[in-house]
Structure 1
Amino acid sequence: MTTALVVIDVQRAFAEWETGGRRRNNPDALRRIADLLATFRTAGLPIFHIRHENPAPGSSFHPDASGRIVEDAAREHGGEPVIVKRVNSSFIGTDLEARWRDAGVRTVVICGATTNHCVETTTRMAGNLGFDARLAEDACWTFDLRGPDDRLHRAEDVYAMTLANLSDEFATIVTADAVVRELGLSPRSA
């Protein structure tokens, strides 16, 4: 069975949000994502790129918005599929599950943005569909979040709770370096 990398929504909207004053955690996440991409490419393993698109006027992910553009460090290479979604789950309205099953994918390493939205939703569904989901904790990030009571929750706390919610029941929480080692390569040498 095959292990695949899934890179979720690594798009410029999040950098624009940060530049606009929103605070996030894990500033090295994009570097870890680049490490994983290099490793999977070196190993010849499948990579699936997920992009968010929102047709609502004013959305950071609108097809005409600069935020919809993928970050250079996470750009697909020739032959790597790009799957466009319009909701949090990478499975709803897409053929992602069929692609994984057709490719013999059993284990998926998931990374991207944001941890508590599209990454969490996709990870939960991957686990529920019977895939061995591995969430690369240092290759994803989230932002501060205001709750329904107007209380501000720090990105680190939202992130930690998301990982706790996913751990064991839906996914195994791993680091990018652990994934690289498991694939038999040395970290960041791919």
Structure 2
Amino acid sequence: MSTALVVIDVQESFRQRESWQAASDPDVAAKVARLVAYARRSGWSVVWVLHSEPGTGTVFDPALGHVRLIDGLDAAAGEPVLTKTSHNAFTTTNLQQILTERGIRALVTCGIRTEQCVETTTRLGSDLGYDVTFVTDATATEPIAHRDAPTGRPLAEVLADPRTLLPAEIVARTEYALAGRFATVTTVEELTGS
């Protein structure tokens, strides 16, 4: 079965946010790099996806220069780099067309944020009929404030709020939601054998 590794939003934008200090794995790019190296050795396609919010003035606005792969990650010749404006990697890109043209039937997903863009892409990929593997330790996320909490609070206040959902809880919830329903959940070591 032809496989594609889809690397989602492993971009400098996140490292510009105060909340990245409390990320589940601030060095997630190192695990992603291991996966990319394994995918290339295995003859898989590698597709890179970046999230963009043009005109917003946020760290996701391409005008600020942060909508690029985290330093140390580079697309090789022939590896598409797609830019999306939705939470999943399919809706606002030609990802499905690329996968179809390459005869891809299996996806391996990783990236930032565990419960948002990576989980959403994983779910949609499964619904589109792909055999999806979610590499949980090659994802990262940040604390999520309670829905009723005021916006714009400093990170220390977000972390002190007992209603805040912490990264470990988010990762565990995502694993429960995906495993056996939308994807096989695995780790870099389990997938690569190293």
Q: Distance in 2 between matches of 1:57 and 1:93?
A: 17
Query: Which residue matches 1:61?
Result: 60
Q: Tell me, what secondary structure is at the counterpart of 1:73?
A: coil
Percent identity, aligned pairs only, is: 34
Query: Which residue matches 1:7?
Result: 7
* Matches for 1:1-190 after TM superposition, within 5 Å: 1-18=1-18, 22-150=21-149, 151-181=163-193, 187=194
Q: Distance in 1 between matches of 2:51 and 2:117?
A: 9
Q: Which runs of 5+ in 1 are unaligned?
A: 182-186
Deviations 1:34-86 (A, max 9, x none): 10111112222210001111113222111112321211232211111111110
Q: Tell me, what secondary structure is at the counterpart of 1:101?
A: helix
Q: Tell me, what secondary structure is at the counterpart of 1:61?
A: coil
Q: Which moved further from structure 2: 27-36 or 5-14?
A: 27-36
Q: Tell me, what secondary structure is at the counterpart of 1:160?
A: helix
Q: Which runs of 5+ in 2 are unaligned?
A: 150-162
With normalisation by structure 2, the TM-score equals 0.87
Does the 8 Å CA contact 1:22/1:144 hold for their aligned counterparts? Answer: no
CA deviation after TM superposition for structure 1 residue 21, in Å: 6.3
Letter aligned with residue 157 of structure 1: E
Report the RMSD for the aligned CA atoms in angstroms: 1.5
Q: Distance in 2 between matches of 1:43 and 1:102?
A: 19
CA deviation after TM superposition for structure 1 residue 99, in Å: 1.3
Q: Distance in 1 between matches of 2:130 and 2:86?
A: 20
Q: Tell me, what secondary structure is at the counterpart of 2:17?
A: helix
Q: Structure 1: which 4+ aligned runs deviate by more than 6 Å?
A: none
Query: Which residue matches 1:184?
Result: none
Does the 8 Å CA contact 1:110/1:136 hold for their aligned counterparts? Answer: yes
With normalisation by structure 1, the TM-score equals 0.89
